[in-house]
Structure formats: structure tokens, C-alpha cells
Structure 1
Amino acid sequence: MMTARQTWTKLLIEVGETEAFGNLSTVLEKLVETIVLSILATTTAAFCALFCAMLGSRTTQINAWLGFIVRMIASFFRNVPVVAWALVLVISFGHHVITGYFALFFSTFGLLVRMFIDTIDEASSDGVEALNGVGATYLQMVFKGVLPETLPQLLSWIFYMIETNIRSATLVGLLTGTGIGYLFDFYYKQLNYEMLGLITFVIVVVVFLIEWMSNRVRRIIS
């Protein structure tokens, strides 16, 4: 009769010898590619979205018509699903990582413009009025009034979109043949449930870790 410790050790050895854990390095490599793609698409979209949000917000807009145009453009990008972007861009760029990047960028840009505009309008109207009252320039109003008051909330939205885009990048990868989505599709067609379970588990763990990290950062900057 084996002891409980021997039984547990034997079970760990058997699990470690399975095909799924033998391919763990491949899964992690594709996962890193997906995470980097999501972070890159989110951060670049956030930079562009912040600029457009300043023009589109009723608190900081330079011209009413320009603000209206910016909001309409953002609404268009926001209302096209990321899957639709991926399908359209596959025709132009083929099955390439750049296709996934632009699909995530466009959908993230539209969402962040709307979120940033709402944040600016809600959080900084009093400060902007006070700065305008003492004759501050537009750039002084932005960097001294708007950004200091809204930065914690803006960063919260950026972290939220990174979490969302990691999940979306998996779906986009199914269509573009890149990242962790490609592996998921590959093993799904083979009906390899061990690998599918491992890939799903790794994605869930990464999303939880990023959420935990973003919560800690938000507490620090709040």
C-alpha cells in the first residue's frame, strides 16, 4: 500500500508527463505575444483617445463643431465590434499580428474616447472654470487643471481596457491566426481537450493577475 505522500507524488509525475504540460512553454510564448499585443494596442489607443477627448469634451473643446466631429468619429469606432474589425482587416493585411493590433486599437480607441470625455466632463469642470477665470492658457488649463484631477480615473480605464483586450485578443487571434487564439483554434480543431483546458486556465490566471495589479496601482495613485 502506498502512502498518501507517495500517491500524491506519483500523481504529480503523471500530470507533468502529459502532453499539455509538455507544451506549456509554447502556450506561455503565445500568451506573452497576446499580452504584449494587448498592452501595446491599449496604450497607443489611450494616447490618441486622450488627445481626441480633449477636443471632444464640452469642458475642454476648442470648437463646438470640431468637438461634435470627434465624438461622431469615436462613436463610429466604438460601435463596430472588435470581431468585425478583425474580419475587415484580415482582407487588407492577411493573417498577421498587425491585423490583431489594428482591430484592438480601433475598438479600444472608440471606447476610451467616450470614457475619457465623460471623465473630463464630470471631474474637472470646476477647476477649468477657475483657471479660465484667472486667464490661464489652454495648455495650462489642461496640464494644471484637467489632468491632475482626472489622471487616477483615466488610468483606471486604461487598466480596465488592458484586461478586456487580453480576452478580446484571444478571440481576435482565432480570426487572424496569431497569439494564444491561434493555439486555441489549433487544438480545438484537433479536439485536444487537455491543451484547451490548459490554455483556458492560463488565460484566466493572467487576467486575474492583471486585475490584481491594476487594483493595487489604482489604490496607490488614488
Structure 2
Amino acid sequence: MPAHNNPALKTAEMRKMKGTLSLIFFAILIAFSVWFVEMDIFELIQSIPLFFQFLFTDFFPPNISDLSTYLGPVVDTLIFAVVTTCLSSLLGIVIGFCMAHNTTPHSAVRLFFRGIIAFLRNIPFLVWASILVVIFGVGTMPGLFALVLFGTSFLSRVYAESIEELNKEGIEALDACGASYFQKIKHGIIPQFLPGFYSWTLFMFEINIRASAILGLVGAGGMGSILKQTMDLFQYGKTSTVIAIMVILILMVEYVTNRVRERLI
């Protein structure tokens, strides 16, 4: 068979052409984006030595003279994460069951909650924190509500997706036995869903620890408030101490949650 009539060869040539066109398209897109944002590569390269000079001159060594004063905010951050994770998981599991197509009481309920969660998820939690600071004032309350809104919207979706991916054979068997809605939830859904619930909830706890740094930048409490305060006062030695404490705290939380996840799942 001639080469130009070979279907396999034509398919390979078409794929190669599509791949080449895709690379050209992305190259043009990147070039246009760099031009549009007026990014100066040479200025970026020239700024690297200044960055390292500022980092090693002003940030190091860390100032540990007030180390004891950071204990309270660290405890606040941990309690903050525990409270917001518990509230978010409780709200998320209820909404998640309503959102999943195999556990929702009615399709209208599913669409209603999916619309609310989609709205909440499309607003960054930093924006929520900024709005709530205006309403409640500077403090821990805006951060608490912002993380609950963010956590609930995130967990509701992942819980619902986890529930929809469960094995359907057990539910069909319970249906054949005439089980009620709550009996199917108790005996068919929850036992299969628990591993995913533990995994996502622990992951949310880690996110809440990290989010405290960002929330503090808008005055919403946590370790981030000290981070912002020290930066505003140009006390960069103390800033590096706060950052080091946060890194250590996050690593410890990740280690503990991984150990808990291994035992539970």
C-alpha cells in the first residue's frame, strides 16, 4: 500500500501536526502574556542579587529575644484550626450528602446546595476575610467565619464527590431489601465513606494552619497578625522568627496528620 494511502501513517502525521500546532499556540500565548503584563526579564535577573542581599542582611539571623511572646499566637492558631475544621466538616458532611446524587433527598435540594456552594467557592477566603473584618472589626471572629465558609464549601464538594464514587452494589442490595433512606445512609454509605472523610478532613486541618498566615495580613487573627505587625514595623529579624515557627508548626502538623491518616485509613 502506498505511504500516502496508509491510514495509520496519516493518523500519526495528523497527531504530529496537532502537537506542533499546540506547541506553537502555547509559545505565542506565553509570549503575549509576558508582553501584556510588561514583564522585564532583564530587570528580574538584575533583582536577584538585591533579593538575596535583603534576605541575608535584614532577615538573618532571626531575632529570638521575644520568643516566649509567640507561644500564645501559636496556641491560638492551633485552636483556630481545630474549631474551623470541626465546624466545616460538620456543615460539609450535611451539605455533601444533600449534594451527592445518590444520597440527596431530592434533585431540587441537590441543585440548591450545589448553587450555594459554587457561589461560596468562587469567592476567595481572603476576600471573605476582608469583608468580615469590615463587619466584625479586627480580631479572630472574621478569620473564624472566613475559614468556616471556605472549609464548608471545599469539604462539601469533595465529600459529595467521594460519596458519588462509592460502590453502588451495596446500596442496590439495601434497596432490594426495602431499606429506608436513613438505613441506606447508615449501613451502605457511611462505612464506605469514612476513609475519604478522615483523609479530606485532616487535609482541611493542614490548610487551615497555613491559611492563618494569610488571614493575619487582613487583621483576621492568628500567627499572620504577628507576621504583618513585624513587617509593618520593619522588624525583619522577628519576621524571620515568625516564619520559622510557622514552618516548624506546619511540618509538625503534617507529620501528625499523616500518622493519624495511616492509623485510620
TM-score (normalised: structure 1): 0.88
State, as a whole percentage, how many aligned pairs show the same letter: 28
Aligned-residue CA RMSD in angstroms?
1.5
- Mapped to 2, the partners of 1:35 and 1:221 lie a distance apart of 21
Q: Where does the alignment leave 5 or more consecutive residues of structure 2 unmatched?
A: 1-60
2:213 paired with 1:166: no
Number of residue pairs aligned between Structure 1 and Structure 2: 205
2:104 paired with 1:74: no
Question: What's the secondary structure of 1:176's corresponding residue?
Answer: coil
Alignment match, 2:88 = 45
2:148 paired with 1:111: no
Q: Deviations over 1:46-78 (max 9, x none)?
A: 101101111110010110011111111111111
Question: What's the secondary structure of 1:22's corresponding residue?
Answer: coil
Q: Which amino acid aligns with 2:115?
A: M
Contact 1:131 1:145 in 2 (8 A): yes
Q: Which amino acid aligns with 2:146?
A: A
Q: Displacement of 1:156 after TM fit?
A: 0.8
Larger radius of gyration: 2
Q: Displacement of 1:126 after TM fit?
A: 2.8
Question: What's the secondary structure of 2:217's corresponding residue?
Answer: helix
Contact 1:187 1:195 in 2 (8 A): yes
Alignment match, 2:97 = 54
Q: Displacement of 1:177 after TM fit?
A: 4.8
2:64 paired with 1:32: no
Q: Which amino acid aligns with 1:153?
A: G
Q: Deviations over 1:124-152 (max 9, x none)?
A: 43322222221111111112111111111
Q: Deviations over 1:13-36 (max 9, x none)?
A: xxxxx9832211211211111121
Q: Where does the alignment leave 5 or more consecutive residues of structure 1 unmatched?
A: 1-17
Alignment match, 1:133 = 176
- Mapped to 2, the partners of 1:205 and 1:185 lie a distance apart of 19
Contact 2:212 2:221 in 1 (8 A): no
Q: Deviations over 1:148-182 (max 9, x none)?
A: 11111111111111111111121112212522111
TM-score (normalised: structure 2): 0.74
Instruction: Choose 172-181 or 140-149, whichever is displaced more.
Output: 172-181
Alignment match, 1:64 = 107
- Mapped to 2, the partners of 1:188 and 1:125 lie a distance apart of 54
Contact 1:30 1:179 in 2 (8 A): yes
2:198 paired with 1:151: no
Moved over 4 A (4+): none
Contact 1:120 1:150 in 2 (8 A): yes
Provide closer, same or farther for how the CA distance between residues 70 and 124 of structure 1 changes in structure 2, counting only shifts above 3 A: farther
Q: Which amino acid aligns with 1:104?
A: L
2:252 to 188, 203, 209: 209
